[in-house]
Amino acid sequence: MFQTRFRSLPKLFGVYRRNNYSTRSTVIQLLNNIGSKREVEQYLKYFTSVSQQQFAVIKVGGAIITQKLPELASCLAFLYHVGLYPIVLHGTGPQINELLENEGVEPQYEDGIRITDEKTMSVVRKCFLEQNLKLVTALEKMGVRARPVTAGVFSADYLNKDKYKLVGNISSVNKAPIEASIQAGALPILTSLAETASGQILNVNADVAAGELARVFEPLKIVYLNEKGGIINGITGEKISIINLDEEYEDLLKESWVKYGTKLKIKEIRDLLMHLPRSSSVAIINVDDLQKELFTDSGAGTLIRR
């Protein structure tokens, strides 16, 4: 069944905050190949109808920075040039593993969480800063003002010091550095490092940190960029286009293919969306499909909403 990715059409009186009409028409021309002009224009107006911090939180997996940096940078540049300021948070999991292995250290995980001793922590910090700089530099090359926000956002306590060592459980989010960046006209590019009250830096899973950002900013879109580009039905092999949690959640959890990581992810997303306004939705997409997902009714990845 054809479904619009709008829950309900919002009032379409948004303004293009930063751009003049000619920029707007260039953008619309650019987007003509992925959707009808009307469709794209409606979504642009919808996204610009909320405050700039409330447009989107975009979580970028570390693998994408290695494998698809030009595509990622041009997608984010596009959003920036149409006057949209996503809050971008990236991980660096694969880079940490590679560096640890180069140093002869076997990466250790428990329940998908990295056991982070002192030595691992120095690798974690190095990788976060390197990948952050890589992304910021790629954006700057595309004429985007981007600001590294690598500290001062997440406060945390130890998740379980005995079990995971230097891993944080986020206790609060300081919005100020992110708001200041957006107000200055720069895309905030965050890592998921956190800090205790006494100044100890802690490692936090980037998906978890993105979820905490979403709880605080209540964005219209929470976007997880990954390689699969969505949730795949384990029986048919097809990508699921839309999950309406209110109607489908219970049945979905009973499906034989919904297990392990997929089950956990769906549960976490439901938990997150229960805390957010109904207008918020989660999109899981491949970086190549970001524009299509955001600006067309048919979308490209998996959209999850209540």
- Residues lying near ligand X2W in the complex (CB under 6 A) are found at 61-62, 91-93, 96, 113-114, 124, 167, 192, 203-206
In the bound state with ligand X2W, the residue whose beta carbon lies nearer, of 99 and 206, is 206
CB-wise, 114 or 147, nearer to ligand X2W?
114
Residues present in the chain in total: 306
Q: Angle formed by the axes of helices 21-31 and 37-47, to 10°?
A: 130
Q: Any idea what the Cα angle at residue 237 is, between residues 236 and 239, rounded to 5°?
A: 105
**Min separation Cβ 131 and ligand X2W, Å:** 9
Shortest reach from residue 81's CB to ligand X2W, in Å: 26
Nearer to ligand X2W, 52 or 92 (CB): 92
User: CB of residue 139 vs ligand X2W: minimum separation in angstroms?
Assistant: 18
- Percentages helix, strand, coil for the chain (3-state, rounded to 5) are 45, 20, 35
Report the C-alpha gap between 40 and 26 in whole angstroms.
12
Residue 1 corresponds to which amino acid?
A: M
**Which residue lies nearer to ligand X2W by CB, 62 or 219?**
62
- Tell me the pairing of strands 302-305 and 281-285: antiparallel
- Which region, left, alpha or beta, applies to residue 112 given φ > 0 means left and ψ of -120 to 50 means alpha? left
Which residue of the chain is nearest ligand X2W when measured via CB? Answer: 91
CB of 114 to ligand X2W, least distance (A): 4
List Cα–Cα distances, 16 to 30, 98, 249, 291, in angstroms: 16, 43, 37, 17
Nearer to ligand X2W (CB atom), residue 81 or residue 126: 126
Query: Least distance to ligand X2W from the beta carbon of 112, Å?
Result: 7
Residue 209 CB, nearest distance to ligand X2W (Å)? 8
Least distance CB 292 / ligand X2W (angstroms): 23
* H or E element in which residue 66 lies: helix 62-67
Q: What are residue 13's phi and psi, to 5 degrees? A: -120, 20
- Helix axis angle, 260-274 relative to 245-254, nearest 10°? 160
Q: Residue 98 or residue 288: which is nearer to ligand X2W going by CB? A: 98
Q: 220: helix, coil or strand? A: coil
- CB nearer ligand X2W, residue 18 or residue 126: 126
